[in-house]
Homo-oligomer: A and B are copies of this chain.
Amino acid sequence: MQLYSYFRSSASFRVRIALELKGLAYDYLPVHLLKNEQLQAPFADLNPTHLIPLLKDGDLTVAQSLAIVEYLDETHPEPPLLPADPAGRARVRGLALDVACEIHPLNNLRVLRYLVKTLGVDDEAKNAWYRHWVEDGLAAVEAQLAGSPATGRFCHGDTPTLADIVLVPQIFNARRMDCRLDHVPTVKRIADHCMTLDAFAKAQPSACPDAQA
């Protein structure tokens, strides 16, 4: 398998964690977002959405990080990244989507560029925007985690799932942008626990080939 990735892309980070948790070897193909390589050949020809990550598995191309993780879970079931019961699966997917749909899309590079270049937003207001969605969004995740007997050492029980895979990269972004985290102790506790696992540590931005280049 080949993964098109950028070390700081949190959506790519999700897929890297999943690949490590599954113990799957892959070729790391860097796409430099700040240099707009996602808009140029050869990558742009592969993915009309110009988004990373993108997974190649033989002739098959899979886009969108959550779809990639579900694909990996269906084609390589061990260890499972979703619970076995529909209620548990729904809870894990819901938590993952609370980050993937409510926080991350507001803070990715092209949105921040639009704020600055098209709307003329200054740096201070741009950073406040970033922090607002992260801090508010994580508070909503915290409320669900802290109040539920289903929460364990990880977001759902005592093994990592899709919810942890999506949460941890968001915490990396939050820390890089100096967001408040004192209001989300359960989120912090789980993210810190995840980082004690080899799979999460090996997948982190600073461990990527393009970070070290």
Which positions in A face B, CB cutoff 8 Å?
A: 48-51, 60, 62-64, 66-68, 70-71, 74-75, 86-87, 89-91, 93-94, 97-98, 100-102, 104-106, 111, 114-115, 118-119, 121, 125, 128-129, 132, 140, 143-144, 147
Which B residues are CB-close (under 8 A) to A70? 89-90, 93
Known: A114-B132, A129-B119. A75 touches B86 (CB 8 A): yes
Contact B93 A48 (CB under 8 A): no
**Is A101 a contact partner of B98 (Cβ separation < 8 A)?**
no
When A70-B90, A119-B119, A119-B129 are in contact, do A140 and B105 touch as well, CB less than 8 Å? no
Closest to A142 in B: B48
Question: Cα distance A115–B48 when bound, in Å?
Answer: 29
A129 to B120, CA, bound (A): 13
Q: CB within 8 A of A93: which of B64, B118, B121, B143?
A: B64
Chain A contact surface mostly: helix
Further pairs besides A66-B97, A74-B89: 20, Cβ < 8 Å: A48-B143, A51-B140, A62-B87, A62-B90, A64-B93, A66-B93, A66-B101, A67-B90, A70-B89, A70-B90, A71-B89, A71-B93, A97-B100, A105-B105, A106-B111, A118-B125, A118-B132, A119-B119, A119-B121, A119-B129
**CB <8 Å contact, A64 and B105:** no
B93 x A49 contact (CB < 8 A): no
A84 to B50, CA, bound (A): 27
Contact A67 B93 (CB under 8 A): yes
